[in-house]
Chains A and B, each alone.
Chain A
């Protein structure tokens, strides 16, 4: 299965951000979307997730034939974790499972899910308004992966997490990448090299790919920085 972007164009305040973007992502892979600050990474995600209107272009899954994307096909983990703070972690998950249980394969108990992200037992019944940034991030990630969306978008997912949580999240992402496409946006080069199977550059309003196995890590870094420095 492929996720295809075709002819995507997006303008913000008379400024062209994405210009006729074409790209195809393959399932089973983690893609790192790299770009300089303000290059349009979040805009690209917002377009894919139908949070902002696009000026032109389309998205679809290609599995022998074109399949339209339904909202539930996409999981979107925002850089600032968003969880309903008036609920406890347990209640949030119960609510989520109540709504989605019919479409979740291999349904586990709430405790089992919370254990998956190593949430301490004491925190299961704590209001999420008292959760740290990292704990909220884990909860957001959990809810987004339980439903097994075909496409998982992660906007700067590990940037503000402590090293332990960041490692846990990386491990989690590696274990769930089978049969789905994961795109994570980041501007941290080492994270991109460490976690992804393929690097995608958002530069000069277009997407381009750099395959990791073509070059060694150091050469690749040089290549990426050289490309990102170049202006049209």
Chain B
């Protein structure tokens, strides 16, 4: 096991180093001047390996710290309930969410492929070593976090130990189910409906404490203790499983089919989700025909998340409205908060926008093949298709924008706002932001065409994307009166859109092409 662990870590480090070198070579200006034999420099490799090890070590604690900050520290400030009990309540429910969304005995990736397929490492050994390493990292991260958190919320060492061992045991149990029952009805039911379970658990986790209704500490302790008491047979079953190589091959095949992963969206996934519905057709012609068939055959891929976003945001606003009506105090505070925190929606609309997934799907399933045909690359065709696609992308993003603007307006109505102009501003700003980010994503795609089958190839695209993320984040801290903010946002969106249209029409035909 020790030998396998060393091999896994070596592979991980080597892969990381070569990725960094590859990135350096792609840097504008500097990249071209780096020597070709960069990969053979041992000193540089050792230095990078050291950084990779430090990064791995820091990430254990940093990840847990960020987890605590976002999911506990910030929400706990809003509640008046017992902080220790509330912490345990949220922790247990988030652990259950983690079981549904983030528990795998084996995470197939390139390193695993190299080890098991290319280097012929024993699959059982590889999978179990990595699983133990992952659990150990998690346990260590939690230990440090809980020692600090326990001190703050008054949870003693007994709680800390039970929670760490409890989470680990639950993860082992879930891994067992995923190993033995991967193609069972119950697993496919969980996979299909997991999203709604997660929503329900989230609601229980964060809405309960509002009305100071949290699970008693004893219940949380009992759940974790039961997990610890009954975990042993699961460990035995996992370690005596006979078909690890088959299991690994199956998972790796799935992964390799989807190797052209573009940050979450793979060609495999998109191909799988090209609709086979034979009734799909189009009466249009030329580019409109192509566009309509593309949208119809990718409807589920393009619209599922946007539909979910609309439902969730409506649900959130509904819950907030109910809370406001139940609590029924300090509604004026709520009103002024909505009006002065409208800038938060720049970031929210940025995060919700489906532009990035839309353009990835366009590239992987359409442009990647058609851009090799001369007729498709004719400027007039490219620009006409740009217009058609923009309308589609705006349509994809509109449902959540509408549900947020209506939800926010309704919440504002409950808070007693009487000024019609404020409603208009909210409506226009949210819709405008949604359209603006749609334009932003599609324009970037046409001007920088960042993809090839291996992923994002353009450093410029990554830089611009990061800057837009940063700007959207900075907007959250901008405090402007509602009216001024609204007018500024609308004017900015209009100017930006016109300017970017000009750039696409001027340069798009030259910039929109395949990258090697």
Any A CB within 8 A of the CB of B369: yes
Q: A82-B369, A87-B293 are in contact. Are A129 and B271 (CB under 8 A)?
A: yes
Binary per-residue interface labels of chain B (289-306) against chain A in the complex, 1 for a CB within 8 Å, 0 otherwise: 110011001100000000
Binary per-residue interface labels of chain A (190-214) against chain B in the complex, 1 for a CB within 8 Å, 0 otherwise: 0000000000000000000000000
Determine whether the beta carbon of B366 is less than 8 Å from that of A100.
no
Q: Which residues from 130 to 187 on chain A have a C-beta closer than 8 Å to any C-beta of chain B?
A: 143-144, 147, 149
Q: A14-B36, A82-B369 are in contact. Are A71 and B293 (CB under 8 A)?
A: no
Closest to B291 in A: A95
Any B CB within 8 A of the CB of A114: no
Determine whether the beta carbon of A72 is less than 8 Å from that of B374.
yes
Distance between A192 CB and nearest chain B CB, rounded to angstroms: 24
Distance between A79 CB and nearest chain B CB, rounded to angstroms: 11
Q: List the A side residues contacting B377 at CB < 8 Å.
A: 71
Q: Which residues from 67 to 124 on chain A have a C-beta closer than 8 Å to any C-beta of chain B?
A: 71-76, 78, 82-87, 91, 94-96, 98-100
Determine whether the beta carbon of B286 is less than 8 Å from that of A86.
no
The answer, among B276, B285, B365, B374, for a CB contact under 8 Å with A98, is: B285
Any B CB within 8 A of the CB of A189: no
**Chain A interface, DSSP helix/strand/loop, else mixed:** mixed
Q: A14-B36, A99-B287 are in contact. Are A74 and B274 (CB under 8 A)?
A: no
Distance between B68 CB and nearest chain A CB, rounded to angstroms: 44
Any B CB within 8 A of the CB of A127: yes
The answer, among A73, A78, A86, for a CB contact under 8 Å with B372, is: A78
Q: A52-B516, A98-B285, A127-B276 are in contact. Are A82 and B374 (CB under 8 A)?
A: no
Q: A14-B36, A51-B514, A95-B290 are in contact. Are A84 and B374 (CB under 8 A)?
A: no
Any B CB within 8 A of the CB of A222: no
Determine whether the beta carbon of B287 is less than 8 Å from that of A84.
no
| Assembly CA distance A72 to B379 (angstroms) | 12
Beyond A73-B374, A147-B375, 15 extra complex contacts between A and B, CB < 8 Å: A14-B32, A46-B516, A49-B374, A51-B514, A71-B374, A71-B378, A72-B375, A72-B378, A86-B298, A95-B286, A95-B289, A96-B375, A98-B289, A129-B271, A149-B374
Listed in ascending order, the chain A residues whose CB lies under 8 Å from chain B are 13-15, 46, 49, 51-52, 71-76, 78, 82-87, 91, 94-96, 98-100, 127, 129, 143-144, 147, 149
Q: 9 closest A-B pairs (Cβ-Cβ)?
A: A82-B369, A98-B286, A71-B374, A98-B285, A86-B297, A86-B274, A82-B372, A84-B369, A95-B290
